Structure 1
Amino acid sequence: MASIGPRYDRDKNLIGWQARVIRKGYPTRSKTFRGKKEAEQWARSIESEMDKGVWRDHSRAETTTVADMLARYEREVLPDKKGRQGTESLIKILTESELGRMPLAALSPEAVATYRDLRLKTISKKTGKAVSPQTVRHALSLLSRVVNLAMKEWGIPLAHGNPCVQIKMPAQAKSRDRRLIDDEEEKLLAACAEARNAWLRPVVIFAIETAMRAGEILEKWELNKKTGSQEKKSIGLQWSEVDLKKRTAHLPETKNGDARTVPLSSRAAATLEALPRNLDGRVFGTTYEGIHQAFVRACRRAAIKDLRFHDLRHEATSRLFEKGFNPMEVSAITGHKTLQMLKRYTHLRAEDLAKRMG
């Protein structure tokens, strides 16, 4: 049975009404309101939910802020995740925003939408331009994932569900569609052969032939902003993972968390066979940072504009479709986790089908 009683200050002035619900099998719930009518309505709603067996304790959502929730995620979950640095930056931005100070119980679709709109108008200190819609999408997606985790596994239910899924996300950035055209590959490889970094040319050929990510090919380091020290993000391809007889490269750890075995074309295998063996076991005795800098300079020497190293993965994936591989086969080679990610390449298959139709 609910009880409603007045609350007074030290001078015995009425300051509000306290509703108190005591029900067997449930924790005692109480809340203070300015008006008696509000207190009665709240008590009736709690009793009604208890009668129906659908009541859930939202007290933790009232005392836990968004910043508290994100801090727990960073402490307990993030250490086991890949791409930690980028996520840490997003957590910092969310924590320092108005949302960070907000109790989870007050986290509404309106509050999240307001954050979205303000963030899209914010000028980035790094670029001097407005924060991109894609960056805001990443932040909201992270917030949504952590809210779901808090609701499902941390015992912090929200009365109206996850507010992040109830708002419109910023438009998704259009995927880059940069490919090597005309004689660009020939010019690029010629420029790579002139590079001080002797690993550049074989790395570029291998990337074009395998569609492997930079972090799957090369040792990669990143700065830990908290400690100020460099940490190894990936170890790169190891000779122990390569079987030149079977022409395969096994990747036990990839960006999406799944292992995969990449078939090697005759050109990719020949490139590896010509390489010297490093004592540390790496196939390519250089780092992503070294290759990135050398690649930029090679493109400049070859007068090739707007080409990034990651575009070679897109080039390689496109060529697989042009060779007649179906989406499932391409996915097994490239490691794209969903077929939706390969949807952008469907026009290549359509052109191929048109040629077959005559």
Structure 2
Amino acid sequence: MATIRARKRTDGSTSYTAQIRLTRDGAQVYQESQTFARKQAAQAWVRKRESELDQPGAIERANRKGATIKEMIDRYLAEMKKVRPLGKTKLATLKAISESYLGKLNDQDVNSQLLVEYALWRMDEEGGGVQPQTAGNDLAHLGAVLSIARPAWGYEIEPHAMADARRVLKKLGYNMKSRERDRRPTLDELDKLLKHFQGIQTRRPTSINMLKMTGFALFSTRRQEEITRIQWADLDEVGQRVLVRDMKNPGQKIGNDVWCHLPPEAWAIMQTMPKVLPEIFPYSAESVSASWTRACHMVGIDNLHFHDLRHDGVSRLFEMDWDIPRVASVSGHRDWNSMRRYTHLRGRGDVYAKWEWYEKILQAPIKLGARTLK
């Protein structure tokens, strides 16, 4: 049974509260109400809800206690932890979503409109003012949760909500896909950075040896997280290879261990590291990133990431006329499409063939600090 009551607001306008009560065998089994500014809207809602509640199992579903998006994310993280740890970026993103206003909403509230609204909020100053690509990553990571929550745990989620939201955002003109970087360091920029790092090593010999880290990253094409995980036990001396553990991959990261060839320059730099710890480069990836960012700021270099050394290293090998399989044996790429994003050629030949800093990197002294040796 449904009733609609008109009520006067303090501003003199009228609101209409529609209430639905359902009884079975003399006992009330369900109650729901909504308030509208127009009576016609209230009547339309009553007709729609009564039709929906008349379907088999509808009352049971309506009475179920919903789960919040935060609860769904927490359950997802707990389940995934049993299989493999998530990457730090995905983990941080999901935790941020769970702590936002979106995390307080129930599963039944998840629809395309809500997801579009969240993406627009993220791109707004109030939500962080992020780029569309970052908002797209948020939706992608949340989508991984929703894709499991409905079929595996029975949460009430509109099946096509995420796909519809992405379609709407695309039609609104937002490019949610990550942009391909084509930034490579110049020799002049590397000269400034390495002089800066050399000065730090002179003043603080036990600090992170960014000379070695920079040179190895460039010639090996390895990411900073991979470099700091490499152990002496991971080396194949005969094949001049290294086992890169948990290599980043769109479909898999944890457990994705790949043997990668080390070019002579990278192999030589690595051999100058002291063999006193299991790790070859016993530094924190976060500290390496912070040191790089701070140095770029100090010497006036804009928009150059440590990861751009990998771009430079892969592009250098192609400029030296290496073929795709040979470059892939160094970079660890599985296909040309993914490798193409790292390839931005400037010409032919090896620009580092007579690079003065190569010998300086080899000769740079190493002194591990007490904190590193613990």
In the superposition, relative to structure 1, how do residues 88 and 147 fare at CA in structure 2: closer, same or farther (>3 Å)? Answer: same
Q: What does the per-residue CA deviation read over 1:165-206, in whole Å, with 9 as the maximum and x for residues that have no partner? A: 211354235333221224444554454444314732222111
Amino acid at match of 1:263: H
Separation (CA, whole Å) in 2 of partners of 1:293 and 1:16: 59
Aligned counterpart for 1:113 among listed residues 104, 107, 116: 116
Q: How does 1:165-314 map to 2 (within 5 A)?
A: 165-168=163-166, 169=169, 170-171=174-175, 172-186=177-191, 188-196=193-201, 197=207, 199-218=209-228, 236-255=229-248, 256-257=253-254, 258-278=256-276, 280-292=277-289, 294-296=291-293, 299=296, 304-314=301-311
Look up the SS of the partner of 2:341 in the other structure: helix
Amino acid at match of 1:203: M
When structure 1 is superposed on structure 2, of 102-111 and 261-270 the one drifting more is: 102-111
Unaligned runs of 5+ in 2: 4-17, 34-42, 202-206, 349-374
Separation (CA, whole Å) in 2 of partners of 1:134 and 1:252: 28
Q: What does the per-residue CA deviation read over 1:233-282, in whole Å, with 9 as the maximum and x for residues that have no partner? A: xxx2111111233211112333323111110111112222233212x222
Under a length normalisation based on structure 1, what TM-score does the superposition of the two structures give? 0.68
Q: CA RMSD in A?
A: 3.8
Equivalent residues of 1:210, 1:265 under 8 A apart: yes
In the superposition, relative to structure 1, how do residues 242 and 59 fare at CA in structure 2: closer, same or farther (>3 Å)? Answer: farther
In the superposition, relative to structure 1, how do residues 345 and 83 fare at CA in structure 2: closer, same or farther (>3 Å)? Answer: closer
Matched, 1:66 2:40: no
Unaligned runs of 5+ in 1: 1-5, 9-13, 21-29, 48-54, 219-235, 353-358
| Percent identical | 25
Q: How many residues align?
A: 300
Determine the structure 1 residue equivalent to 2:104. Answer: 101
Separation (CA, whole Å) in 2 of partners of 1:326 and 1:152: 45
Matched, 1:344 2:341: yes
Amino acid at match of 2:125: T
Separation (CA, whole Å) in 2 of partners of 1:31 and 1:327: 65
In the superposition, relative to structure 1, how do residues 105 and 332 fare at CA in structure 2: closer, same or farther (>3 Å)? Answer: farther
Separation (CA, whole Å) in 1 of partners of 2:138 and 2:188: 40
Look up the SS of the partner of 1:167 in the other structure: helix
Look up the SS of the partner of 2:200 in the other structure: coil
Separation (CA, whole Å) in 2 of partners of 1:307 and 1:96: 31
Query: Displacement of 1:146 after TM fit?
Result: 0.4
In the superposition, relative to structure 1, how do residues 92 and 246 fare at CA in structure 2: closer, same or farther (>3 Å)? Answer: closer
Equivalent residues of 1:144, 1:162 under 8 A apart: no
Query: Displacement of 1:164 after TM fit?
Result: 1.4
Separation (CA, whole Å) in 1 of partners of 2:341 and 2:225: 23
Separation (CA, whole Å) in 2 of partners of 1:7 and 1:265: 77
Separation (CA, whole Å) in 2 of partners of 1:111 and 1:70: 17
Query: Displacement of 1:104 after TM fit?
Result: 1.6
Equivalent residues of 1:262, 1:334 under 8 A apart: yes
